[in-house]
Chains A and B, each alone.
Chain A
């Protein structure tokens, strides 16, 4: 029996090894090597790349990225929870429609959707033009190229990552549980906090993790919606592999980022 199970798991293990463990080992090795003159890596082995991360400059960027990702995740929870609840409580036919509506944006690429936001948020974009033609404002609002725009792009882009797992949790809640709670004298709010929320927790956790991890590694959104005026750790990593041609430092940055995210998730569990 055990034998059989091992055989069935073998392909998955192999994929995991080749596509995940090995590349990660390469990243680790790169992070301990020296920078090649035109990119790439060279001997000798060194810890320098990790030492550079203690520089307040990069520590500050790490903190800012954690903050932006955390805030975006919180916003996604605030916006996504009612949506997931509403969808899970709708009747069966509607439910599929709503779920499809949540997923439709995924049919186009993230890049295209981000460009679409640029067109909406520009000085001569739809929002500013509309507000100006109604006479609400006389000067275009600076909607694009600031932290608000970056946050908007992140929340918009990753909201479905939160809604879908949360929906799966909420959908499993049997309405009779709420009836039972109310029969036993619980007010709707008490029933919600003591019955629904604990049962929704796994979905909230899974969704938040997905959103948080996606947000913290992002580099496209700060570039396009932030006009490259702010920098997140994803941009630092990207830059090391491109313009700065410092692969070892980029590898060290991304490993430390992974480590931080793992720590963060662990601390959440405890």
Chain B
């Protein structure tokens, strides 16, 4: 083969390689937050390869995608991060013609507060904040956030290591909104948190599960999904939604602006909306699906599980934490640092 012929054949060969290479999608999600075979099934059905990565919290996710060249296509922020991400120009708008399964969602999740027509995100899974306690070993059944200030809980109580929820509980206890942005409310709440600190064994989030199962911790502020995992390990554990406002969080699938595979990304989001897929994921990771068709596939006992699916009148008390103004975030961080340093 002479040189000219060789040079001519190169682009063709390269094109051939590109064609034969399977399409790739890059998905990053919370750790332990997907079904055992979800990704494999998707790869098989759509003849694609998925690179799947995980993160531990929204801040980690934010840090990774903020530069706009993270290499990920689909990620799953919590609802109060969706609008900031949109404002930073990180999100690609959703094309509803490619998401026919959006209709499977509960009406509540089709018009959520933070993205009223789902232009930017697809609800994936949701959970609440509440109180888990050991019904056999703890002296009383907690009913409201103020029961986390009970002297008898001393040393047996843990709170979430999360400024949103520790302040949220204190604010709700005082009769303020869980997500208040009023500086006076926050200062008042801080005094409550300082008063509570001697009772608190630790500020921990997911580790509370093991300690509830072991019986080291008898009462804890937890997420419903953590509580459910604890209940699976120890039948004495009970989860209650307090009588005051509590938080409800929904993680949502979004497509990053930087993605060059938006078609496939839509396909993936639509796939997570399939009833059997969504129900499978929710069952595996023990959390609640926002998908009505998926919910209907669950067993009667799973549907009646008030830990994951509180009745409508309970859910009406819930608040969706939404982004706070930057000066309030700064004030709250300072107040929280004071609590920890005290």
The finding on whether chains A and B are genuine partners in a shared complex, rather than unrelated, reads yes
CB 8 Å contact bits of A98-140 with B (1 = contact, 0 = none): 0000000000000000000010001110000000000000000
Interface centre among A64, A229, A235, A242 (most CB of B within 10 A): A229
Chain B interface size band reads 20 to 34
Most-contacted residue by chain B among A124, A227, A235 (CB, 10 A): A227
Smallest CB-CB separation from A228: which chain B residue? B203
Contacts of B329 in A (CB 8 A): 244-245
Which of A122, A236, A245 gathers the greatest number of chain B CB atoms within 10 Å? A245
For A144, the closest partner residue in chain B by CB is B202
Q: Tell me, in angstroms, the Cα distance from A40 to B89 when the chains sit together.
A: 14
* A145 close to chain B: CB less than 8 A: yes
CA distance A123 to B341 in the complex (A): 25
Beta-carbon nearest neighbor of A38 in chain B: B84
A239 surroundings in chain B (CB, below 8 A):
333, 337
State the main secondary structure of chain B at its contact with A: helix
Which of B25-33, B211-219, B260-268, B288-296 lies at the interface? B211-219
From B333, which residue of chain A is reached at the shortest CB distance? A244
Name the distance in Å between B176's Cβ and chain A's nearest Cβ. 20
| A243 interfacial by beta-carbon distance below 8 Å | yes
Are B216 and A123 in contact (CB-based, < 8 A)?
yes
B337→A236 contact, CB < 8 A: yes
A contact residues around B337 at 8 Å (CB): 57, 61, 231, 236, 239
- CB contact list, A198-246 vs B, under 8 A: 223-224, 226-231, 235-236, 239, 241-246
Q: In the complex, what's the smallest C-beta–C-beta distance from B23 to chain A, in angstroms?
A: 32
Q: How far is the CA of A61 from the CA of B341 in the complex (A)?
A: 7
* Contact with A229, one of B60, B84, B85, B197 (Cβ below 8 angstroms): B197
* Chain A residues closer than 8 Å to B155, beta-carbon distance: 142
Check B216–A246 contact: CB distance below 8 A.
no
B143 within 8 A of A: no
B117 within 8 A of partner (CB) = no
Given contacts A231-B340, A231-B341, A242-B60, contact A145 B214 (CB under 8 A): no
Complex CA–CA separation, A236 to B336 (angstroms): 11
Among A35, A57, A145, A244, contact of B341 (Cβ-Cβ < 8 Å):
A57
Would you call A229 and B202 a contact (CB within 8 A)? yes
Please report the C-alpha to C-alpha distance between residue A245 and residue B161 in the assembled complex, in whole angstroms.
17
With a cutoff of 8 Å between Cβ atoms, the chain A residues found around residue B333 in the complex are 239, 243-244, 246
Alpha-carbon gap, A142 to B200, bound state (A) = 12
Chain B residues, CB < 8 A from A70 = none
- The complex places the Cα of A229 from the Cα of B66 at a distance, in Å, of 30
Query: Which of chain B's residues 283-327 have a Cβ closer than 8 Å to chain A?
Result: 326
Bound form: Cα–Cα A241–B201 in Å? 26
State the CA gap A243–B334 with chains docked (Å).
11
> Which chain A residues lie closer than 8 Å to B201 at the CB level?
145, 227
Question: Which residue of chain B is the closest to A145 with respect to CB atoms?
Answer: B202
B16 touches A (CB below 8 Å): no
Q: Which of B59, B85, B87, B340 has the most CB of A within 10 A?
A: B340
Q: A40-B66, A142-B155 are in contact. Are A228 and B204 (CB under 8 A)?
A: yes
How far, in angstroms, from A124 to B211 measured CA to CA in the complex? 9
A37 touches which one: B59, B163, B326 (CB < 8 A)? B326
B62 touching A39, Cβ below 8 Å = yes
Give the complex CA separation of A196 and B264 in angstroms. Answer: 69
Give the distance in Å from the alpha carbon of A37 to the alpha carbon of B57 in the complex: 19
Give Cα A227 to B216, complex, Å: 14
**Which residue among B62, B211, B337 has the maximum number of chain A CB atoms within 10 Å of its CB?**
B337
Give complex CA distance A228, B337 in Å. Answer: 11
| A142–B333 alpha-carbon span in the complex (Å) | 29
Q: Are B216 and A243 touching (Cβ within 8 A)? A: no
Q: Does A60 contact B (CB under 8 A)?
A: yes
Take A57-B341, A227-B204 as given contacts and tell me if A124 and B161 are in contact as well, using a CB distance cutoff of 8 Å.
no
Contacts of B85 in A (CB 8 A): 38
Given B59, B88, B215, B341, which contacts A124 in the complex, CB threshold below 8 Å? B215
6 contacts across the A-B interface (CB closer than 8 A): A37-B87, A38-B88, A64-B341, A144-B202, A229-B197, A241-B63
Given contacts A37-B326, A38-B85, 17 further A-B contacts (CB under 8 A): A38-B62, A57-B341, A60-B341, A61-B341, A123-B214, A123-B215, A123-B216, A124-B214, A124-B216, A145-B202, A224-B207, A228-B161, A231-B337, A241-B59, A244-B329, A245-B329, A246-B333
